[in-house]
Amino acid sequence: MSVSLDDVKRLKDLTGVGLSDAKNALVEADGDFDKALEAMRKKGLTRAEKKGEREAREGLVDSYVHGGRIGVLVEINCETDFVARTDDFKNLVHDVAMHIAATSPQFISIDDVPAEERERVAGEFTDKVKGEGKPEAMVPQIVEGMLKKYFAEKCLLDQPFIKNPDQTVGGLVKDHVARLGENIVVRQMRRIELGVSE
């Protein structure tokens, strides 16, 4: 089956793979561009998860100031200085800083939530669910669902990305891992709002 050279180039640009991989994906998808793109994304994300085990110590610190009232500093790491200097990586770091300014996350990921905070919130939810008269056997499951939703709103990587609410910030980072071919880690963030102290 012959595939269009324009589609091959477009798929290559969108996924960051080589021309031959892009062509093979289109051939396997019988020339269906969307199907090929989806297949390449799945492969890329699988590779991205494997890359997540590699050490990331290069990267950038970026700042974003919104209207002179909100300021953000964020550090995002990658594996090499070469990737850190690419426009794609710089845009990712800036977009994440802008997202932090808009949404004010408290934690980077669920792993950063202190155990005592998780236990405190779980206790409140447990009392609430029991007070509603839910069956005792269902309480832990209901509370776990409530905790997941509660902390998803407070954890940067679980929040819907402001520029594309269909994707989480974590999904955005994984897309860049797949595209740039390196592990990428949001290392730290600071958000300052005029007149508000922590």
Domain ranges of the chain: 5-51, 58-108+155-193, 114-153
Q: What is the edge-to-edge ordering of all strands in the sheet holding 58-66? A: 58-66, 70-78, 185-193
Closest CA to 74 of 102, 38, 47, 52: 102
Q: Cβ neighbours of residue 11 under 8 Å, at least 6 residues apart?
A: 17, 22, 25, 26, 33, 36, 37, 40
The region of weakest confidence among 13-17, 127-131, 147-151 is 13-17
Report whether pLDDT(53) > 70.
no
CB-CB contact of 78 with 180 (8 Å): yes
Report whether pLDDT(47) > 80.
no
**8-state DSSP, 44:** H
Whole-angstrom distance, CA of residue 23 vs CA of residue 155: 39
Q: Using only C-alpha atoms, what is the Rg of the chain? A: 21
Whole-angstrom distance, CA of residue 89 vs CA of residue 83: 7
The region of weakest confidence among 30-44, 83-97, 115-129 is 30-44
Whole-angstrom distance, CA of residue 167 vs CA of residue 189: 20
Average confidence (pLDDT) over 52-61: 78
Protein fold of 5-51: Helicase, Ruva Protein; domain 3 (1.10.8)
Closest CA to 157 of 173, 145, 179: 173
Which architecture characterizes domain 58-108+155-193 according to CATH?
A: 2-Layer Sandwich (3.30)
Angle at CA of residue 44, ends 43 and 46, nearest 5°: 65
Angle at CA of residue 98, ends 92 and 101, nearest 5°: 145
The pLDDT, as a whole number, for residue 46 is 47
CB-CB contact of 44 with 59 (8 Å): no
The pLDDT, as a whole number, for residue 111 is 86
Counting Cα atoms < 13 Å in the Cβ hemisphere of 154 gives 16
Dmax over Cα atoms in the chain, in whole Å?
65
Protein fold of 114-153: GTP Cyclohydrolase I; Chain A, domain 1 (1.10.286)
